Amino acid sequence: MAQSVLTYSGNAALPYMGDKASDVLPANVERVVGSVGILEVRPDVYMLTVDGNNLAVFTGVQSTLVIDSGASHCDDVVKAINSIAKAPVRYIVLTGPSADRVGCSGPLRDAGERMPAAYIQQTGAEIIGHENTASRMAEQTGLPSTAGAPEDMYTRSTLGFAVNDQSIQVISMPAAHTDGDSVVLLRRADVVVTGDVFDVTRFPVIDIEHGGSIQGEIDALNRLLTDLVVPSTPKWEGRYGTLVIPARGRLSNQTDIVLYRDMITVIRDRISALIAEGKSLAEVQAADPTRGYAPRFGSQTEPWTTSEFVAAVYASLTADSPAKRKGG
């Protein structure tokens, strides 16, 4: 077996006939630093989990790149990253404006060190994000004081740059969770960080007031499947194919996104049909359009109840949403 299997993620380190026991490797085990769990998903690529929120770290001899920041236990997040970093944190990409993505970006920036450049006087790591992420962060009143906004903003459909030996693509997913969402592709490692576009623990949060929409969410999931996330062959082989770091929950792959996309599409179509029958929001909620999916992805308690999700989809599909007014 390839040596690289030693550090690869997944449970699929399967022995084949003729393998020695020493070739058969333990499945990945999480390390814990303070409140932060650390899982190596590919060589030098880590998924960190704090209070259920995921962030990603890619490190190498020149730089460390952090994608999202978590929202709590910021000191532990910095310590955890320092425990795996081979070089200073130089870049932080924020995939969206929600507190769960940006909450600790300030302390992370301050603990980092940007690439030396004679004409730039700023210190700390460079924060990157879509322009709308910055503007939505400026609008929000409930963000923690530790949140640091992007100073290096992109407005095109993608932003590409290289860190260590890795090409990084930051790709805009317009009008999904909000209108400032990005997903990040680590091309060589074949890892995608989805931000709030994909959450393996719950229905997607559609932030209507900040430009999110159900159609944008479905488009984003389809874009992931058509352009960015490659299935393993065979499908169960966790060493191969694209690994997906979701906003929350366990490490995922193409199958997880397919099932999620199918579910969201079915729920959208159920609610669309009810709207076409002239049902009000209360009547749609009473019709239980998440039947069959709620035990797995729904919640009766804040934040983000099933009822709130249905209301957001309903608003997104009727004229009463900013994205709809913009033609989104």
Partner 1 sequence: MHGVSINTQNRRHADSGIKWRRGGLLAAVVCLMLQTSWARAEVDLSGTYAAVQGEDTQIRTEGPDFADYTGIPLSDEARAAALSYTPSTISEVDRQCVPYKIHYLLQAFWGFRVWATTDPISGKVVAWNYSGTTDRQPTTIWMDGRKPPADTALATPGGFTSGVWKGNTLVATTTHLQDGLLTRNGVPASDKEVVTMFLTRVDNVLTITGVIQDPVFLTAPYVLTNVFSALPNQGFGSAIGASLPATCMPAEEVPSVLNGKVPSYLSPDLNPNLNTVSSLYNIPRESTLGGEQTMYPQHSDQIQSKYRPPAAYCTVSCCGAAMGLGNLGYAKQVLQCK
Closest CB to partner 1 among residues 15, 160: 15
CB of 292 to partner 1, least distance (A): 3
CB of 236 to partner 1, least distance (A): 4
Sign of the alpha-carbon dihedral angle for 257, 258, 261, 262: negative
Closest CB to partner 1 among residues 49, 213: 49
CB of 288 to partner 1, least distance (A): 8
Closest CB to partner 1 among residues 153, 230: 230
CB of 200 to partner 1, least distance (A): 8
Q: Which residues bind partner 1 (CB under 8 A)?
A: 9-12, 14-17, 19-22, 24, 26-30, 37, 39, 41, 47, 49, 54, 218, 222, 225-226, 231, 233-236, 238, 243, 249-256, 258-259, 261-262, 265-266, 269-270, 273, 291-296
Closest CB to partner 1 among residues 20, 325: 20
CB of 295 to partner 1, least distance (A): 5
Q: Return the HEC string of the chain.
A: CCHHHHCCCCCCCCCCCCCCHHHCCCCCCCEEECCEEEEEEECCEEEEEECCEEEEEEECCCCEEEECCCCCCHHHHHHHHHHHCCCCEEEEECCCCCHHHHCCHHHHHHHCCCCCCCCCCCCCCEEEEEHHHHHHHHHCCCCCCCCCCCCEEECCCEEEEEECCEEEEEEECCCCCCCCCEEEEECCCCEEECHHHCCCCCCCCCCHHHCCCHHHHHHHHHHHHHHHCCCCCCCCCCCCCCEEECCECCCECHHHHHHHHHHHHHHHHHHHHHHHCCCCHHHHHHCCCCCCCHHHHCCCCCCCCHHHHHHHHHHHHCCCCHHHHCCC
CB of 242 to partner 1, least distance (A): 11
Closest CB to partner 1 among residues 34, 249: 249
CB of 321 to partner 1, least distance (A): 18
Closest CB to partner 1 among residues 154, 240: 240
